[in-house]
Chain A
Amino acid sequence: MKLWITYSAVFVIGIAAVLLLFNASANPEKAILGKWKETEWKFEKAIAFAADIAAASKTKTTQPEFSFHRAEDWEFLPGGLLRLKIAGKEEHLSWRIKGRGHVLQIQYGDNRIENYQLTVLENNRMVLNAESDMQARGIAQLIFERTKTDTYAQKIQ
């Protein structure tokens, strides 16, 4: 009897710890909703391959690989719709969050898929990492700031 109580207590504590952590945190699928402005992008490991990267970015040889070269404003809408503003024009894509909430997957109309590591997702700041092994040898990092007019997160809360 005592053994059962001990085992049950351990399991209950384990489950409670997980539930408490869930309760104390924001679901990335909800936290990402709203308008984000791309403020900066850079390559990590830039020291090692500075010349390559600088050349690649200047000649825009990496441009077709990632949207971040073109999009300025990203708007994540509920239901997995992503609105990108590119040079005044709008493009509609779909977005998903995968893994433990650490991968942002973006899908184009032609089924092309881009995966980004969701490194930081705070109230007003988001950092995405995109690994490019094509032309530029390094990890591209995109830094976003939340557009102030956004109210999506508040609306759904």
Chain B
Amino acid sequence: MLRKYSNSRTLGDNVRLGVLTAFSAGMVNIGSLLLFFSFSSNITGHYAILAAELVKGNLYQAAVVLGWIFLFFFGGFTSNMFVIHLNKKNTYIAHAIPLILEIICLIAVGTYGHFFYKETLAETEVMLALMLFAMGLQNGLTASISNFAVKTTHLTGATTDLGILFSMFTRKEYRNNKELKGKAILLASIASAYLAGAIVSGITYMHIGFRLFYVVSLFLVVVLFYDFYKLKLFRFLTNRRKKLAAKTIQINTHATFPTMQLKKETEKEAAVY
């Protein structure tokens, strides 16, 4: 999910990344609405609110919303900074750092909310600010590494694109277009996962409150470790293949030993990966 970059990503990579991160975003967004009465990823709405508050002369509220919008922007900025500056050194690390930062933000909100929250306005605003920064990080990362194919914290664009795609599918040549079908699958998966996350969040919030953010973090840890595990597995298989190859060379020096079987085994492992 995180190892590959831009055009080298498959539809499967994007769907896995999209579904897991959209589910988390749906949970965070509804969690923040239920706990703090404000969305944490609905930036279009925040722009509208900012304008409305300015018109009404509510400068305090306008400042708060402007700060939140800035933090969402800064989250996207930070994510992409890591991606473009560290990508050549280590792709996995470059893509994992924004996710680690997001997990830290969400765990901070969950822990503070669970143990220390006194329900003051300042606390509410700071925690919402952290969530907006986290959502900015996530959206920046997924959009950046998927060549802008995966955006998971809001669904305006996805819903528009789905509408366009479904209208295109009324013609046969577009229905048979694999790329368009793949895009529709990806967007539908993201929308469904977001909705599912929001529903799960709405139900679980009543029982677990702020611990909800630990659950969200768990999903992000899955995203993080899925690739880590694959990388480890890849290294393990490569090392094993090298050892087997070395053995084969050694055995080849003894003419009587059947080397073919070992070669076949090595080839099989390479094919599996």
Contacts and interface: CB of A to CB of B under 8 A. Distances in A.
A25 B58 CA distance: 8
Contact of A21 (B37, B60, B119, B124): B60
B121 A98 contact: yes
B173 to A, nearest CB: 46
A21 B121 contact: no
A98 B36 contact: yes
A22 B70 contact: no
B67 interface: yes
B70 A14 contact: yes
Interface residues of A, number: 23
B60 A25 contact: yes
B49 A100 contact: yes
Given A98-B37, A103-B37, A29 B63 contact: no
B158 interface: no
Interface in B50-86: 53, 58-68, 70
B38 interface: yes
Interface string A85-126: 000000000001111111100000000000100000000000
Interface in A9-43: 14-15, 17-19, 21-22, 24-29
A103 B36 CA distance: 9
Interface in B233-259: none
A99 B60 contact: no
A99 B59 contact: no
**Main SS of chain A's interface residues?**
mixed
Contact of A96 (B63, B70, B119, B125): B119
B120 interface: yes
A125 B136 CA distance: 37
Nearest to B38: A99
Given A99-B37, A100-B125, A18 B61 contact: no
Given A21-B60, A98-B36, 12 more contacts: A14-B70, A17-B66, A18-B66, A25-B58, A25-B63, A28-B121, A80-B119, A97-B121, A99-B36, A100-B65, A101-B60, A102-B61
30 contacts: A14-B70, A15-B70, A18-B63, A18-B66, A18-B70, A21-B59, A21-B60, A22-B63, A24-B59, A25-B58, A25-B62, A27-B60, A27-B121, A28-B121, A29-B120, A29-B121, A80-B119, A96-B119, A96-B120, A97-B121, A98-B36, A98-B37, A98-B121, A99-B124, A100-B38, A100-B53, A100-B61, A100-B68, A101-B64, A115-B37
